[in-house]
Amino acid sequence: NAHYYQIFFAASNGGDKIGLKRLYQISMAVNFTNQVVPAGGLAGVAYLSEATKPEVPTGTATLAQLARYIFTFISYFVVLGLGLFLLFLSGDLDKVSVRIMLIVMVGVLIGGLALIIVFSDRHRTELLLRPVTRLLTHLKNQILKRPGPIISPVRLAGFLDDFYVGYREIIGHRRTWPKLLAWCLGNNIAEVASLYAVFIGFGIWPNLGVVITGYTLAIMISVLGVVTGGVGVYEFGMIGTLSALGIPFAVAFAVVIVYRGLSMILFLPPGFYFYRKTLEGR
């Protein structure tokens, strides 16, 4: 993730001013923020924008996180293709609910294309943001009893200026896209390897294709977590998909719980440390 941010910000005339060590610390803190404050990734975007100031404009930091989600989802399809190929070689493809899988894949593709179409044009983005900002302003006024917009038109215009300056820079640096995709793909491979290691810890050596496919489908299903704040969707989705792929429910439940527990124990404490370190330095 740190290398991803470094390449992205460098293409947007910002990353060359931020060292890899600092970006690594920021990446750990972004992970901490997204898990502690489940809000569909919005908490991580807000922290990234604050942590990379003043080198990176807020709009560019937001664009970096949005592009990371896009490249990550593309890499999911690469990983899923490998998982299905391994299932095909082992003769286990009949265990996969092809219809459900296709629905999820098509849904993700449609959602991703819709986001790209909307955010590729400033006018469309403004049309989308207007009702959202009005709703947030109404909620803020009702709860805090303080009239006034949640974000001023001047600040919103400045944010969009930064966002689309970065957007044009990235579009003009297409040669960086394979590198960005490669680092996102590496992240997924590390996650699958970690999950497989937990299976081995239980003395079980499952079909690698089952683990890859179960992990990837669970990630895609967890997109629905935006509606529920992400609470439990990822975990229950992985348990359900692994069970549907032939892993006994008790084993899938135990492995996922240990896998998620280890992820939190190993990464949340240092993420919290770097989160506080960044904010205290402001």
String of DSSP letters for 126-141: HHHHHHHHHHHHHHHH
Which of 26-40, 96-110, 133-147, 248-262 is the most confident on average? 248-262
Which pLDDT tens digit goes with each residue over 107-125? Answer: 766 776 787 788 788 888 8
The model's pTM is 0.76
Contact at 8 Å (CB) between 212 and 92?
no
d(CA 103, CA 107): 6
Q: Which residue has the higher pLDDT, 132 or 255?
A: 255
Question: Tens digits of per-residue pLDDT, 178-187?
Answer: 999 999 999 8
pLDDT digits (tens, 9 = 90+) for 35-74: 887 655 677 888 888 888 888 888 888 888 888 877 887 8
pLDDT above 60 (res 225) = no
DSSP string covering 135-177: HHHHHHHHHH---S-SS-HHHHHHHHHHHHHHHHHHHH-GGGH
Distance of alpha carbon 222 from the chain centroid? 10
Residues 236, 242: Cα–Cα separation, whole Å? 10
